[in-house]
Amino acid sequence: MNSQLIDSLRLRFGANGLPYEIPIHPQLVHLTLGLLIIAILFDIAGAIFPIERPIFKFLGLSAIRSSFFDVGWYNLIGAAFITFFTVAAGFFELLLANPPIDQKSVWGLNAGWTMLLHGLGGLLLLGAIAAMTVWRGLQRYRWRKDASRQVQWSYLLAGIVIMGILFVHGTLGAQLGEEFGIHVTAAKLLQEGKSPNLLPK
């Protein structure tokens, strides 16, 4: 980010190269991941409920099929909502990044390419999660509102594919922090052979 823009924003940067102490994007990423994974897993559990019913009965657990779908739906709404903020925080923090130029990740990518792929992947996943939410809403309130199985098998398959993409995408993000030390001062110090205890308290 150029110095004139930084000066115009009058941002004060801390040890992590951000105008706040702890990076926001990684915190929101884990919320997005948790909500989306729970949404898909509970919809899968609802879809295969007839197979699970004897297990619940044996364990003495009272389970209602529609409750699994309720958990799936509301968690997906939460994931779609929070992902807008996750992506926004990610782009803000990428704009403030000062990546090393002569280093490569274990995947053989330099920091610039890793940042580019991670940013584009974030936009792709935001669009995919928003589309999944619309698709899921149509199933819940229109297409399958009277069916005992509220979700289509193709929807569940798409959800599993998106979780796989999230794994690859998350690995790129982890490489930015761990291998390139972007906004992670402790990791950067360790790479330089210094102690994180040198950080000001």
Residue ranges of domains in the chain, CATH in brackets: 17-193 (1.20.120)
pLDDT tens digits for range 128-164: 999 999 999 999 889 887 777 889 999 999 999 999 9
pTM of the full structure: 0.78
Which pLDDT score is estimated for 185? 66
Give the other-Cβ count within 10 Å of 188's Cβ. 19
Which positions of the chain have pLDDT values less than 70?
1-17, 50-61, 65, 185-201
Q: How far apart are CA 67 and CA 73, in angstroms?
A: 10
Contact by Cβ (8 Å): 90, 175: no
Six token digits for residue 29:
């990423």
Q: How far apart are CA 88 and CA 29, in angstroms?
A: 11
174-179, long-range: CB < 8 A, 24+ apart:
175/105, 175/106, 175/107, 175/109, 175/114, 176/97, 176/99, 176/111, 176/114, 176/115, 176/118, 177/26, 179/103, 179/105, 179/106
